[in-house]
């Protein structure tokens, strides 16, 4: 089970109106979605995820939330990448949202299911696609990308300084089809420093590339002024410094243009208490903004 990260802080910054329409751009197993829905009366939440398996689990987890009034669905599930959320708004007949939440990255469920290929801890096929119905897999990248491009990808997306040595070892070991094989060959190529597995950053880089996570985030951030109405709130949770920087700069640019007001002057981090009970929350960073009416001073 994925424990929703910084749930109270997300709800506080979203300042939910019971009659509002909200979008959870990354529904996952539905932790945040359910908590938002529970605060709604006549409003509803559009719950998106590009991972069909996660969405099916969320639907099962959240069945209870909609049991109270079967005539009115407070949660509307949409299987799509968040770069295309405009389509789900259209399908629901919603011109603009009262709030939007994006809890980026992968869930515990995705990470711990070996067969999804995200984890270097449990062996499985080298897949890493959040949406298993499309796109290239991590195996396609490690087996077919030229060595130079592979090294650049590992360096840029994984911030891995030993990227050239890793890329060389990968190319020599081809073909590679499992996470276990990839993790082992990287461990043999570069020495372990500290507690972190030497393949951690390479796995992260591959995951970001496979799911085009940078491109997805750029499209979502650029669409915010058209998706969310004046007075509406946007909350973004990130788990990687690169991603947090992108969000921070996008929010600052929106404030400069008079489109939004930054609500989190400094990035908000989980409490020690939360980290104590949910270790994966330790790297979370929360940023929030409120959309402004461009025509008002």
Ligand X SMILES: C[S@@+](CC[C@H](N)C(=O)[O-])C[C@H]1O[C@@H](n2cnc3c(N)ncnc32)[C@H](O)[C@@H]1O
Q: Which residues bind ligand X (CB under 6 A)?
A: 2, 4, 26, 28-32, 48-51, 54, 81-82, 103, 105-107, 130, 216
Whose Cβ is closer to ligand X: residue 105's or residue 270's?
105
Q: Shortest Cβ distance from residue 140 to ligand X (Å)?
A: 19
Residue 241: CB atoms within 10 A of its CB come to 11
In whole angstroms, what separates CA 21 from the centre of its chain?
21
Q: In whole angstroms, what is the distance from residue 160 CA to residue 118 CA? A: 18
Whose Cβ is closer to ligand X: residue 142's or residue 237's?
237
Instruction: Identify whether 175 is preceded by a cis peptide bond (ω within 30 of 0).
Output: yes
Could you tell me the strand order of the sheet in which 260-262 lies? 75-79, 44-49, 21-24, 97-103, 228-238, 285-291, 260-262
Q: Shortest Cβ distance from residue 82 to ligand X (Å)?
A: 4
Q: Where are the beta strands (DSSP E) in the chain?
A: 21-24, 44-49, 75-79, 97-103, 228-238, 260-262, 285-291
Whose Cβ is closer to ligand X: residue 3's or residue 169's?
3
Structure tokens at 30: 């539905």
Q: Shortest Cβ distance from residue 229 to ligand X (Å)?
A: 22
Whose Cβ is closer to ligand X: residue 82's or residue 155's?
82
Whose Cβ is closer to ligand X: residue 106's or residue 126's?
106
Residue 217: CB atoms within 10 A of its CB come to 22
Under DSSP, is residue 111 helix (H, G, I), strand (E, B) or coil? helix
Q: In whole angstroms, what is the distance from residue 154 CA to residue 108 CA? A: 23
Q: Shortest Cβ distance from residue 225 to ligand X (Å)?
A: 19
Q: In whole angstroms, what is the distance from residue 152 CA to residue 144 CA? A: 14
Q: Shortest Cβ distance from residue 189 to ligand X (Å)?
A: 29
Three-class secondary structure assignment of 22-44: EEECCCCCCHHHHHHHCCCCCCE
Whose Cβ is closer to ligand X: residue 117's or residue 198's?
117
Under DSSP, is residue 286 helix (H, G, I), strand (E, B) or coil? strand
Q: Shortest Cβ distance from residue 164 to ligand X (Å)?
A: 29
Q: Shortest Cβ distance from residue 167 to ligand X (Å)?
A: 25
Q: From residue 73, how far is each of 28, 37, 287 by CA, in Å? A: 19, 10, 29
Q: Shortest Cβ distance from residue 105 to ligand X (Å)?
A: 5
Whose Cβ is closer to ligand X: residue 114's or residue 230's?
114
Nearest of 266, 262, 285, 267 to residue 275 by alpha carbon? 285
Whose Cβ is closer to ligand X: residue 40's or residue 167's?
40
């Amino acid at each position: 089970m994925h424990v929703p990260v910084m749930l109270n802080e997300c709800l506080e910054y979203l300042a939910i109106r019971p009659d509002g329409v909200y979008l959870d751009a990354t529904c996952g197993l539905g932790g945040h979605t359910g908590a938002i829905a529970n605060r709604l009366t006549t409003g509803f939440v559009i719950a998106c995820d590009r991972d069909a398996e996660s969405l099916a689990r969320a639907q099962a987890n959240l069945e209870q939330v909609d049991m109270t009034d079967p005539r009115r669905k407070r949660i509307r599930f949409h299987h799509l990448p968040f770069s295309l959320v405009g389509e789900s708004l259209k399908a629901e007949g919603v011109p603009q949202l009262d709030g939007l939440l994006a809890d980026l990255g992968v869930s515990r469920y995705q990470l711990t299911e070996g067969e999804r290929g995200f984890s270097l801890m449990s062996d499985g096929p080298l897949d890493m696609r959040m949406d298993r119905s499309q796109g290239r897999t991590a195996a396609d990248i490690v087996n077919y990308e030229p060595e130079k491009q592979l090294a650049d990808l590992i360096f840029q997306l994984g911030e891995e300084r030993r990227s050239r040595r890793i890329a060389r070892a990968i190319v020599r070991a081809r073909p590679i089809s499992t996470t276990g094989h990839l993790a082992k060959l990287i461990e043999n190529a570069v020495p372990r420093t500290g507690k972190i597995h030497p393949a951690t950053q390479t796995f992260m880089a591959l995951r970001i590339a496979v799911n085009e996570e940078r491109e997805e985030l750029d499209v979502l951030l650029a669409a915010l002024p058209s998706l969310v109405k004046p007075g509406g709130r946007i909350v973004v949770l990130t788990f990687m410094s690169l991603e947090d920087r992108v969000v921070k700069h996008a929010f600052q640019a929106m404030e400069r243009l008079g489109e939004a007001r930054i609500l989190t002057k400094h990035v908000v981090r989980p409490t020690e208490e939360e980290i104590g009970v949910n270790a994966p929350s330790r790297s979370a960073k929360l940023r929030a903004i409120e959309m402004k009416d461009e025509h008002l001073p």
